[in-house]
Structure formats: structure tokens, C-alpha cells
Structure 1
Amino acid sequence: MLSTLRRIPFSAAGWLFEWKYDGFRLLVRKTNDSVELLSRPGNLLNRAFPEIVEAVANVDGSFVWDCELTVGAARGTESFDRLRARAVMSVEPRIRAAAARSPARLCAFDILVLGKRDLRGMALRERKPILRQCFDDTPFLLYATGIETVGELVFEQVVAHDFEGMVAKRLDAPYRRGRSSDWLKIKYGGYSRPAALGFR
């Protein structure tokens, strides 16, 4: 599910507003003991991020999550450059050293499947609590929370903390493949990393 660009922040009942982390969009699929970290172009990133694979493997059950993979503060040029450098590593000792020096974190913001249940037809307001119940936050896994209604207040915090922007999501919307006006992204024009490549 992809978001549509909107220029001006807004507040409205029935909407959830989340900070927009600057990283790589991933679908995370766990089937029994098998874990796959799949980038939006369909690349498997397991080898480059073993600490994330291990963290997901420790979560009970089978599921598919929609996430953002980040490093460090999840914003700014330094964090994104470290993430991008890690993604192309292929030599095991270098990968382990980079994981210790610049550990990654998975910010999970939606769930598509739990066990044998396809949750995509459910409203976001129903999917989010299911995702929250899947795991506790750790140094490697973060539940991406949001604030309802007061989008303009959330955007003030985006600016204050120099995040890439925010994503507004209609709470009654199902999860649909492709771009939709049910998810809107509002970018911060003064963000410290111009032409950001991370997206949702």
C-alpha cells in the first residue's frame, strides 16, 4: 500500500498520523521458522541485517508485517548513508562488525497476515492493535505508534525533531495494494537530507 503526496498538513477525525521514518520500506514475512526481509523492489535483505532476522525469528507465530528498516536516529543523511552502506555488504565479518557498530531497527507499522488469517480487509483501527499484540519493543523491533486527529500538532513535532515528514492514514481503510488516498504523505520541506530516498 503506497501513499499519495499532500503538500499541507491537516487535522481530521478518523485519521491516524505517524512520523515518517527515513529508511527502507520492507515487507517482513515469517512462516514458522523462516524469515524474509523483502525490500519494495523485491530484494531479500536477510544477509545484510542478521540482527533483524534474529529479532523477527524470536517473535512467536507466522505473519506478514509492513515496516520501515532504519539505522540510528531514523532521520538525516548520516543515518541513511549508514543504512545504505549496510544494505550492500556481502562479506560476513564486515556485516557482523557493521551490525555491532550501526545496528538496524525495524519500525513495524502494519500487519497483513497473522497465522492463516488475511487481515488486509480489516480497517486499520483493527489491524494496529493486532500488530501491537505481536511483540514487545526491543532495541531491534519498534511498534510505530501514531496519534489520532491532531495531524498539525504531529507535524510540528516532525519539524522540531527534523524528521522526513509524516504519514496520515484513514482509520477505517483496509490494506490495498498500490497507491491510495487513504494514506497521505506530507513531507517536511526543511528536512536536513534533501531528495530523501526513504518512503512508505
Structure 2
Amino acid sequence: MFISPMQPMKAEEPFNSEEFLFEPKLNGHRLIVSFINGQVNMYTRNNNEVTRQYPELFNVPVDSGTDAVFDGEVVRLREDGTNDFEGLIQRYRIGKITKIKDASRTHPVQYYVFDILYLNGKSLTHLPLVKRKEILARILKPSGYYHVTMSIEHEGKALFKVMEDKGLEGIVAKKKNSDYVSKRSENWLMVINYQYLEVSISAYRRKEFGWLVEHEGRTVGCIEGTISTEDRKAFYLLAQSLITGQDRHFVYVKPVLKIRVRFRNWTSNHMLRTPEYAGLSGELKKPLR
């Protein structure tokens, strides 16, 4: 049974509130686990069935005869306890069943459950979050691969500081009395622990918008998304005198125009993971004449 997951909106700063529970934001991918009539099925947030990918999660730790649907995050952990997102994606992409079985022993995943959506023939999505949490704690028996995600009351700033100090993903704030809706909702708010960096623009796309950016002489990502009309105009006016060449996809410029970006972390091949534009710097900040 697939239930389309509830999605958080973004908040820029951590906060304290008596109305919210605060949870660590783990660096993995969303996983809906359905255990009905003894049959386990696993789905990504986009309703792609991935049951065969994670055989270590086949034994759902609930009492015999229990039917349930759980929502959570599947992650890979390094020996030091930090999230290995790239290792998880490698696991996700394995195709051969024999290699999947081998990887489940040598590079196992962990499933951190933060919600229960269905129990023994009844939907629980109409219940407030705190009630669902109580049911989850009673139904799921933590095991070597299944864990109930910790949550705390009120102290969102303190939890974010812990995540920041450990270099982890951030936090999610969830309203205690909120029901579960299969859409993005302001009752769930994620606060990302971004890293910031100054980079140089080395090229721009010829068709749809995008800037190739470099750091210390090598390309580290492509910036897309929301950039103000004023900032784009400032770039294009200055870039015309800096063009060094072009191909089918990009116009290349001298990498002297700088911007600030924020991103989640570096990938193993030294690229920015999910970079976002964070403002102008250098020459682009000067008034145009």
C-alpha cells in the first residue's frame, strides 16, 4: 500500500516553539514501508517500488498479525556515524539481485521511521502527530535496521546547533497537532544546514538559464533556479566583454565574475551538492554605469 508522503516547506532559520516537535534531518531518501498480510513493499516518495533494493529491511519488527504503513528515511551510515549519501545512491542503483544481496551484508542501510500512517485496517492520517508518534513507539520494535527517529519538544535551535556542529543535514520542525496530508505543508518545516562558498561564473547556457561555476580553477556545479531579474541583467551586461568562446550548449566567459552559493555538501568527485544562488559578490556588486 502506497500513501503519497507529506512534504516539508523550507524555513531559513531554526526556531523554538511549544507548538512543534523537532527531529534531525537525515541525509538519505524518503521511504514508505508497507507491511500488509505479512508482505513487505517499499516505495520512494514518487511511488517507485524499490522493495528488492533493500533485503535487510524485509523483516519488519512488529508483532505477528500487525498490518502497518510507515514513513521514514533510509540512510547509509559511515563507521563514524555520519550519513553516506553517495553510498546510499550506489546501493539504490545496483541492478543484479546477487549484488544487492551481497551489498545488504557489506554495505547495509538503516531505516529511521518518523511516522505511522496505517494500522490494522485503519488510516491514521487524520490523527494529530503526537498521537501517531505514540502509536509508532508502541508498534515498532527497534532492531538492527529499523529505528524510531528521535524528536524533542521546544528546543529547535539547540537541536540545529548539534546538527551544525556535527556537519549533518539540518532539522525538521513538525506541528504537534497536525494531521498527515499527502502534499507539501507549512505544518512541517525543514531548516537546512547549508555551507557557503564564493565561486566564479565560467559559462552560461545558451538556451534555458544556468551558470556554470568554478572554484580554485575547476568546475564545481551549475546554478539554476530563482535569481532576480536585476542580478541576471547585471551579469549579462558585464559578461559581454568577457566572452572567450562557445559551443552548442554554453557561452564561456573569463571566470572573474563572482557570486556566493549555498550547498548541502561536497560530493566525492568534488562537486557541490544541490547548489543554490545566495547573492552577488565582487565585480557584480558594483553599480552599473
User: Is the aligned partner of 1:192 residue 2:270?
Assistant: no
**Kept after mapping to 2: 8 A contact 1:22/1:196:** no
Aligned pair partner of 2:126 in 121, 128, 136: 121
Counterpart for residue 180 of structure 2: 175
Of 37, 59, 62 in structure 1, the residue corresponding to residue 62 of structure 2 is 59
Query: Structure 2: which amino acid aligns with 1:59?
Result: V
- Per the alignment, residue 94 of structure 1 pairs with 99
Q: CA deviation at 1:135?
A: 2.1
- Tell me the CA shift for residue 195 of structure 1: 2.9
Matched, 1:47 2:52: yes
Structure 1 match to 2:8? 3
Q: Distance in 1 between matches of 2:265 and 2:144?
A: 25
d(CA) in 2 for partners of 1:75, 1:28: 23
Q: Residues of 1 paired with 2:131 and 2:173: CA distance? A: 16
Q: Per the alignment, in what secondary structure is the counterpart of residue 47 of structure 1?
A: helix
SS in 2 for 1:87: helix
- Cα distance in 2 for residues equivalent to 1:196 and 1:159: 18
- Which TM-score applies when normalising by structure 2? 0.64
Residue deviations 1:76-125 (CA, integer Å, cap 9, x gap): 5xx11111111121212211221111111110000111111211111001
Aligned partner of residue 56 in structure 2, secondary structure = helix
| 178-187 vs 34-43, which moves further | 34-43
Q: Once the two structures are aligned, what percentage of the paired residues are identical?
A: 28
Instruction: Provide the C-alpha distance between the structure 2 equivalents of 1:75 and 1:167, rounded to a whole number of angstroms.
Output: 18
**For residues 13 and 72 of structure 2, what CA distance do their matches in structure 1 show?**
24
Q: Which amino acid aligns with 2:31?
A: L
- Equivalent pairs counted in the alignment come to 193
The AA in structure 1 aligned to 2:265 is S
| Counterpart amino acid of residue 159 in structure 2 | V
TM-score by length of 1: 0.91
Q: CA deviation at 1:75?
A: 4.6
Based on CA coordinates, which of the two structures has the bigger radius of gyration? Answer: 2
The Cα RMSD (Å) is 1.6
Report the 3-state secondary structure (helix = DSSP H, G, I; strand = E; otherwise coil) of the residue aligned with 1:29: strand
